Amino acid sequence: MTGPLRVGTRASALALTQTTTVAERISSLSGAVHELVRIRTEGDVHKGSLTQIGGTGVFVAALRDALLDDRCDLAVHSLKDLPTVPAEGLNVAAIPERADTRDALCARDGLTLATLPDGATVGTGSPRRAAQLRAARPGLEVIDIRGNVDTRLARVAGLSESGPGDLDAVVLAAAGLFRLGRESVITELIDPAVMLPAPGQGALAVECRTGDAVDSPFAAALKDYDHTTTRLAVTAERAVLRRLEAGCSAPIGALATVTGEVLALQAVVCSLDGTQLLRLARSGGDLSADGADALGVGLAEDLLAAGAASIAPLTAQ
């Protein structure tokens, strides 16, 4: 590699913040100078509901094309946006240590999920969040919204002087707010007992061409940057999603944790209206990638056996 390390990113403030952190760390580990390559994705161009334009995978395809076309050397994704099926010719070579996995309520007047009045309007673009919100608080009105973090926060009364302030609250990923330094707008970090996060939430994925993962000036840096415990947890979570054949915008949550020699995994499948939730858990002692994957597949099988396919729009049977 004769030039700088080219790191592909979406152009949103959050993506740029995340990518810059990753690029600086890999530069530090490898000694390479880096530059950011901004890529416009279908998710940035089309502003309809994510469920209508193809789910969160629409943020990924253009970055992957840039890698395969040699317009960048690395691409940084929010792991929860990555489809569970690997892309031919590409490799997720590093998953850094995960940030906060929880969802965050950002509400007017310091309100929490319990203190929002019936009839309050709460915005989210995630069917998973919407379903669990409706289950926890059936009296709330859940509104489908799109936009970057600032655009969404501007929808909340009192949180921004420039926005419409037409909602009582929005729900966003806590990790993104912390990365942007916007944690002051959080009025509640929602307990996973109430709202399980998306598989992979809070984690980043650093993707490169398959050959570069083992033979490139930055291959060793990627290996050092990879966080084993985080990779095990997200492998288990994403295996649930893959086995259910649900897609990354489905009303499914999953969260895995490693404590000592035990990998514990829980998952929820929701009906879109939040009236039905199926939540199960499994744990295992095989702390290998194959063991984590098997744990996730096993929990997905448990969910299917318990009737998950009759609750949510799943392909798997």
Residues 233, 222: Cα–Cα separation, whole Å = 19
Tell me the two tokens of residue 106.
């950002």
Identify which of 306, 270, 108 has the alpha carbon closest to the alpha carbon of residue 198: 270
Task: For residue 259, count other CB atoms closer than 10 A to its CB.
Answer: 8
Q: Is 144 a catalytic residue?
A: no
Identify which of 129, 123, 125, 164 has the alpha carbon closest to the alpha carbon of residue 143: 123
Task: For residue 85, count other CB atoms closer than 10 A to its CB.
Answer: 9
Residues 208, 238: Cα–Cα separation, whole Å = 19
- Which of helix, strand or coil describes residue 173? strand
C-alpha distances in Å from residue 178, one per residue of 99, 123, 181, 197, 266 = 9, 19, 5, 16, 24
Tell me the β-bridge partners of 8.
37, 75
What region, left, alpha or beta, does residue 43 occupy, with left being phi > 0 and alpha being psi -120 to 50 degrees? Answer: alpha
Counting Cβ atoms within 10 Å, is residue 51 exposed (0-12), middle (13-18) or buried (19+)? middle
Tell me the two tokens of residue 24.
């600086």
Catalytic residue, from 44, 65, 73, 81: name it. 81
In this structure, the strands spanning 74-78 and 204-209 are antiparallel
Residues 6+ apart with CB under 8 A from 229: 97, 258
Q: In sequence order, which ranges of 31-173 are alpha helices (DSSP H)? A: 42-45, 50-53, 61-68, 127-136, 149-153
> Would you name the residues annotated as active-site residues?
81
